[in-house]
Amino acid sequence: MTSLLSSGDLISDRYASALYDLAAEKKIVDLVLEDLAFLQKCTQENKDLKLLAKSPLITSSDKLNIFEKILSKRKTDNLTNTFLKVISRNKRFAKLSSIISQFMNINSQKRGDVLADVTSADELSDNQKNGIRDQLKQTLGKKLSLNFNVDKKIIGGLIVKVGSKMVDSSLVTKINKLKIAMREA
């Protein structure tokens, strides 16, 4: 299972790195970033679009046509359109969201931002997000980019990942530790 995950991450990383290099070479990173953020927002807000991107039953050319129609509503950069065609040709639409996330991570790292992923069991309120942001800024510095995720499996608490470090205060982890301690007793 881990080899599948790491190969998936490797694929996303390669596509994102190649796209970032081309965008940096042409000095259009911000334009491509806006286009990709728009696509990411569309797929996150529309469950059907998210399922469409991952569905093996729909051809890559049909997926490309749909995403091109979505992008036709706004003025997108030619590199973004070419990127989608490459994704279509190589049948990688299922990885689109992961590639976009990785592109954003690469961009943040190049700009010197500290990236942190915060996972909670339920959607956090704006006040909670701001509180977490303020606490992490005090610890990690001013240039901080946060990604907030929801994972019902953690039951409660938070998981905060910054680079290779992780603080896990989730209830599921505490329950698992308690189960291990009970077995050893």
157: tokens are 């608490």
Residues, the chain? 185
Q: Which residues contact 162 (CB under 8 A, 6 or more apart)?
A: 114, 115, 116, 117, 136, 140
62-106 pLDDT per residue, tens: 999 999 998 888 888 899 999 999 999 999 999 998 899 899 888
Domain extents in the chain: 2-109, 113-184
Q: How far apart are CA 169 and CA 156, in angstroms?
A: 8
Instruction: Please give the Cα distance from 34 to 102 (Å, whole number).
Output: 14
User: pLDDT at residue 165 above 90?
Assistant: no
DSSP string, 111-177: TTPEEEEEEESSPPPHHHHHHHHHHHHHHH-S-EEEEEEE-GGG-SSEEEEETTEEEE--HHHHHHH
Helix (H, G, I), strand (E, B) or coil at 83: helix
| CATH T-level topology, domain 2-109 | Peroxidase; domain 1 (1.10.520)
For the beta carbon of residue 98, count every other beta carbon within 10 angstroms: 17
Residue pair 113/147 in contact (Cβ under 8 Å)? The answer is no
5-62: pLDDT as tens digits: 445 578 889 999 999 999 999 999 999 999 999 998 888 888 898 899 999 999 999 9
